[in-house]
Structure 1
Amino acid sequence: MYALIEALHLGDLEQSRRHELTPVLFATAADGDTVARAIAERQAEEVVAMAVVALTRLELLDEPTPVLLGGGVLAASIRSSTA
């Protein structure tokens, strides 16, 4: 784990492989790691903020509006929460 942290910090982890960390993050958070959980919760807050901004700009914030989430981060979250 320390080698991974060092590689990420020093920029030695290839950009094309960083997406591989998402499932690890969610699995670690699900196992009770407080730092990983805090990162995952922060990500959730960012997604909510993005949805609020979009709905506000579309003048839909006060309307019941479905919000559909997708992509690699969400997929990793679902996989780790159902595993």
Structure 2
Amino acid sequence: MLRVLDRPQVPLHTNGSERDLRPHVIKRKISGGTRSDQGRDCRDAFLGLLLTCAKLGVSFWDFLGHRLGVAKANAPYLPDLVRLRSATA
């Protein structure tokens, strides 16, 4: 909570994060979830990557192709982008 004193641009609420997860919760509710713990972990990991790419303005498919070694895919390294964005924020 005190981080806001050092960084006034940090919001005092979590509405943005909750709004990001809402479509996922609705889909999970309709489909009944995953069949295994491994499926749930995989879904959660890909959702996290998808939302991170969207917030950083990086194409998720380019990122995924680059990580899988597709020749034409080019994407920046996400941890570096996150560090860069958080340093300027």
Flag whether TM exceeds 0.5 (same fold).
Answer: no
- TM-score bracket, shorter-length normalisation: 0.3 to 0.5
Length-normalised TM-score, structure 1:
0.39
Structure showing greater relative contact order (alpha-carbon pairs closer than 8 Å, 6 or more residues apart): 1
Length-normalised TM-score, structure 2:
0.37
